A and B are shown apart, each in its own frame.
Chain A
Amino acid sequence: MPHLTLSALEKRYGAAAPAVASLNLKVAKGELLGLLGPSGCGKTTTLRMIGGLIPVTSGQIDVAGRDVTALPTHQRDMGIVFQNYALFPHMTVAENIAFGLEMRRTPRAEIKPRVQQALDLVRLPDLGHRKPRELSGGQQRRIALARALVIRPSILLLDEPLSNLDAKLREDMRTEIRDIQQRLGITTIFVTHDQVEALAMCDRIAVMRAGHLEQLGTPHEIYEQPATRFVADFVGRANQIAATRDADGTIRAGALVFRGPPGPPGQVTALIRPHRLGFAPAEGGNTAAGIITRVTYVGDLLACTVDCGGVSLTVEQPTLPGLPTPAVRDQVRISWRIEDTLVFPAE
Chain B
Amino acid sequence: MIHRALIALLFAFLLAPVALVFPMSFSADRVIAWPPSAFSFRWYIALFNETALRQAALNSLLLALGVTLLSLAIALPAALAIARGGFRGRDSLMALLTAPLLLPTIVLGLALLIVFAGYGLIGSWLGLAFAHLLITLPYALRVLSTALATIPAAVEEAAASLGAAPGAVFRRVTLPLMTPGVIAAAAISFLVSFDEVVISLFVVGPKLTTLPVAMYRYVESRTDPLVAAVSALLVLFSLAIVLLLDRTVSLRKAIGK
Task: Find out whether the CB atom of A86 lies under 8 angstroms from the CB atom of B155.
Answer: yes
- CB proximity to A under 8 Å, residues B121-166: 152, 154-155, 157-166
Q: Report whether A86 and B158 are in contact in the complex, using a CB–CB cutoff of 8 Å.
A: yes
Given contacts A90-B177, A90-B257, A99-B172, whether A84 and B162 have CB atoms under 8 Å apart is: no
Closest chain A residue to B86, Cβ basis: A55
Q: Is A89 an interface residue (CB 8 A)?
A: yes
What residues of A have a CB within 8 angstroms of the CB of B160 in the complex?
Answer: 53, 72-74
Question: A51 vs B161: C-alpha distance in the bound complex, in angstroms?
Answer: 7
With a cutoff of 8 Å between Cβ atoms, the chain A residues found around residue B35 in the complex are none
The answer to whether B177 and A82 touch across the interface, beta carbons within 8 angstroms, is no
A contact residues around B152 at 8 Å (CB): 84, 86
* A100 lies within 8 A of chain B by Cβ: yes
**Chain A stretch 12-50: residues in CB contact (< 8 A) with chain B:** none
A88 interface residue (CB < 8 Å to B) = yes
- B173 A100 Cβ-Cβ under 8 A: no
Asked if A103 and B257 make an inter-chain contact with CB atoms under 8 angstroms apart, the answer reads no
- State the CA gap A99–B168 with chains docked (Å): 11
Residues of B within 8 Å of A88, CB to CB, are: 155, 158-159, 173, 177
Is the pair A86, B256 in contact by a Cβ cutoff of 8 Å? no
Complex Cα–Cα for A37 and B152 (A): 25
Please tell me if A342 contacts chain B, counting CB pairs below 8 Å. Answer: no
Decide yes or no whether A6 CB sits under 8 A from chain B.
no
- Say whether B157 contacts A100, CB under 8 Å: no
Count of interface residues, chain B, beta-carbon cutoff 8 Å: 22
B176 interfacial contact with A, CB 8 Å: yes
The answer to whether A90 touches B158, judged by C-beta atoms less than 8 angstroms apart, is no
Q: Are B163 and A74 in contact (CB under 8 A)?
A: yes
Q: Using A53-B157, A82-B157, A90-B176 as known contacts, say yes or no to A151 and B163 having CB atoms under 8 A apart.
A: yes
- Pick from A75, A80, A133: contact of B158, CB below 8 A: A80
The docked-state distance in angstroms from the alpha carbon of A99 to that of B159 is 8
- Taken residue by residue from 106 to 122, chain B's Cβ proximity to chain A (1 for < 8 Å, 0 otherwise) reads as 00000000000000000
Give the docked Cα–Cα distance between A133 and B177 (Å): 14
A280-B15 Cα distance, complex, nearest whole Å: 86
Q: Output the least CB separation between A68 and chain B (Å).
A: 13
Residues of B within 8 Å of A100, CB to CB, are 162-163
Measured CB to CB, the nearest residue on chain B to A159 is B154
Tell me the nearest residue of chain A to B158, going by C-beta.
Answer: A86
Cα A93 to Cα B169 with chains together (Å): 18
Assess whether B162 is in contact with A86, with CB atoms less than 8 Å apart: no
How distant is B153 from chain A, measured CB to nearest CB, in Å? 9
The docked-state distance in angstroms from the alpha carbon of A78 to that of B154 is 15
Contacts of B256 in A (CB 8 A): 89-90
With both chains docked as a complex, state the minimum distance between the C-beta of A132 and any C-beta of chain B, in angstroms.
Answer: 8
CA of A74 to CA of B168 in the docked complex: distance in angstroms? Answer: 10
Chain B residues with CB below 8 A from A73, complex form? 157, 160-161
Nearest-neighbour CB distance to chain B for A141, whole angstroms, equals 13
What residues of chain B lie closer than 8 Å to A74, measured between beta carbons? Answer: 160-166, 169
Nearest A residue to B165 via CB reads A74
Q: Choose one: B157, B162, B166; the contact of A99 (CB below 8 Å).
A: B162
Nearest Cβ distance between residue A91 and chain B, in whole angstroms?
A: 8
A168 within 8 A of B: no
Closest CB in chain A relative to B107 CB, distance in Å: 40
CB of B37, distance to nearest CB on chain A (Å): 58
Question: Given the interface contacts A89-B177, A90-B177, A99-B172, does A82 sit within 8 Å of B163 by beta carbon?
Answer: no
The smallest beta-carbon distance between B205 and chain A, in angstroms, is: 46
**Residues in B neighbouring A99, C-beta threshold 8 A:** 159, 162, 164, 172
Verify if A219 is at the interface (C-beta below 8 Å from B).
no
CB distance from B187 to the nearest CB of A (A): 21
Measured CB to CB, the closest approach of chain B to A79, in angstroms, equals 7
A79 to B165, CA, bound (A): 15
Q: How far is the CA of A90 from the CA of B164 in the complex (A)?
A: 16
Kindly list chain B residues whose C-beta atoms are within 8 Å of the C-beta of A86.
152, 154-155, 157-158
Partner of A82, one of B158, B164, B173, B257: B158
> Most chain-B Cβ atoms within 10 A of its Cβ — which of A51, A82, A90, A148?
A90
**Chain B min CB distance to A209 (Å):** 26
Which residue of the partner chain, among B157, B165, B172, B173, contacts A80 with CB atoms under 8 Å?
Answer: B157
The answer to whether B163 touches A103 (Cβ under 8 A) is yes
CA distance A300 to B113 in the complex (A): 83
CB-CB under 8 A from B154, the residues of chain A are 82-84, 86
A82→B154 CA distance, assembly (Å): 7
In whole angstroms, what is the CA distance A148 to B162 when docked?
A: 7
- In the assembled complex, how far is the CB of residue A129 from the closest CB belonging to chain B, in whole angstroms? 14
The answer for the CA separation of A51 and B152 in the assembled complex, in Å, is 17
Residues of B within 8 A of A72 (CB): 160
Set of chain B residues within 8 Å of A144, measured between Cβ atoms: 158
Give 5 CB contacts A-B under 8 Å.
A88-B155, A99-B164, A144-B158, A151-B162, A151-B163
Residues of B within 8 A of A (CB): 152, 154-155, 157-166, 168-169, 172-173, 176-177, 255-257
Given A53-B161, A77-B163, A83-B154, 16 more A-B residue pairs with CB atoms under 8 Å apart are A53-B157, A73-B161, A74-B162, A82-B154, A86-B152, A86-B154, A86-B157, A87-B155, A87-B158, A88-B177, A90-B177, A100-B162, A103-B168, A104-B163, A144-B158, A147-B162
Which A residues are closer than 8 A to B by beta carbons?
A: 51, 53, 72-80, 82-84, 86-90, 99-100, 103-104, 133, 144, 147-148, 151
- 6 A-B pairs with the lowest CB-CB distances in the bound complex, closest first: A100-B162, A89-B257, A103-B163, A86-B154, A73-B160, A86-B158
